């Protein structure tokens, strides 16, 4: 389950602007109080389920289940940083494919930046790294890393491009409701 260091399987970052001042935004609060129904609305039909829990050592965790391309992904995001304007979440994610189950390491960064005139830019950045389990899976199924990376890039980028503006709108609604 170890990440293959410095190897990127896929990476995408999309931004959306919202009419809420940065001072009212609290991404960590939004992420860890997000109702499942709201999560589902943020990328229908890809988003399947969501919940919040804790690791054994007390760190906050967001559990997300998504369909990304042809893979069903169960993400176990542990908070490395959870602040109002920035969250860095790290997951060893289970991926269920037609060839079976594997794992990837996904780093999800949620970023809010002041852009002036009471507006905020929200950026949703997702970086996937192969794990040793993933590399063994590719070898076992005679799949080239380059082919797997291209498929993951296409599917992950498409998914992220669709969820980012909906996450931004949801973060804005949460900020304005407080």
Flag whether pLDDT at 140 surpasses 60. yes
Q: Are 82 and 60 contacting, i.e. CB atoms less than 8 angstroms apart? A: yes
Q: Are strands 100-116 and 86-97 parallel, antiparallel or unpaired?
A: antiparallel
β-bridge mates for residue 111, sequence order:
86, 123
Is 94 a domain residue? yes
DSSP state of 84: S
Read off the pLDDT of residues 36-64 as tens digits, 9 standing for 90 and up: 999 999 999 999 999 999 999 999 999 99
163, burial (CB in 10 Å: exposed 0-12, middle 13-18, buried 19+): buried
Is 1 a domain residue? no
Flag whether pLDDT at 5 surpasses 80. no
What integer pLDDT is reported at residue 178 of this predicted model? Answer: 83
Nearest by Cα to 158 from 82, 79, 46:
46
Q: Are 30 and 151 contacting, i.e. CB atoms less than 8 angstroms apart? A: no
Is 74 a domain residue? yes
What integer pLDDT is reported at residue 1 of this predicted model? Answer: 46
Is 126 a domain residue? yes
Grouping H, G, I as helix, E, B as strand and the rest as coil, residue 8 is coil
Is 72 a domain residue? yes
Read off the pLDDT of residues 80-130 as tens digits, 9 standing for 90 and up: 999 999 999 999 999 999 999 999 999 999 999 999 899 999 999 999 999
Flag whether pLDDT at 161 surpasses 80. yes
Is 5 a domain residue? no
Whole-number average pLDDT of the chain: 95
Q: Are 16 and 115 contacting, i.e. CB atoms less than 8 angstroms apart? A: no
User: What's the CATH code of the domain at 35?
Assistant: 3.30.530.20
Rounded CA-CA distance 82/110 in Å is 9
Is 144 a domain residue? yes
Q: What is the pTM of this model?
A: 0.94
Two tokens, residue 136: 């063994």
Q: Are 20 and 172 contacting, i.e. CB atoms less than 8 angstroms apart? A: yes
Which residues make Cβ contacts (< 8 Å) with residue 108, sequence separation at least 6? Answer: 75, 77, 87, 88, 89, 90, 91, 124, 125, 126
Residue 178 CB neighbour total at 10 angstroms: 7
Is 15 a domain residue? yes
Range of the domain at 55: 10-177
Total domains in the fold of the chain: 1
Mean pLDDT to the nearest integer, 4-20: 90
Nearest by Cα to 151 from 5, 9, 7:
9
């Amino acid at each position: 389950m170890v990440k293959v260091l410095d190897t990127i399987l896929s990476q995408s970052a999309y931004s959306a602007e919202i009419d809420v001042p940065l001072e009212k935004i609290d991404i960590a609060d939004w992420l860890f109080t997000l109702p499942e129904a709201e999560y589902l609305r943020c990328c229908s039909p890809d988003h399947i389920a969501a919940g919040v829990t804790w690791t054994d050592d007390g760190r906050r965790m967001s559990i997300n289940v998504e369909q990304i391309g042809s893979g069903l992904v169960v993400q176990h995001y542990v908070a490395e940083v959870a602040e109002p304007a920035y969250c860095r979440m790290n997951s060893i994610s289970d991926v269920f494919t037609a060839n079976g189950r594997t794992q990837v390491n996904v780093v999800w960064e949620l970023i809010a930046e002041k852009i002036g005139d009471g507006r905020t830019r929200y950026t949703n950045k997702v970086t996937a790294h192969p794990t040793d389990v993933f590399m063994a899976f590719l070898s076992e199924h005679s799949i080239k890393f380059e082919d797997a990376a291209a498929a993951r890039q296409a599917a992950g980028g498409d998914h992220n491009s669709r969820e980012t503006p909906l996450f931004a709108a949801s973060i804005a609604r949460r900020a304005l409701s407080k």
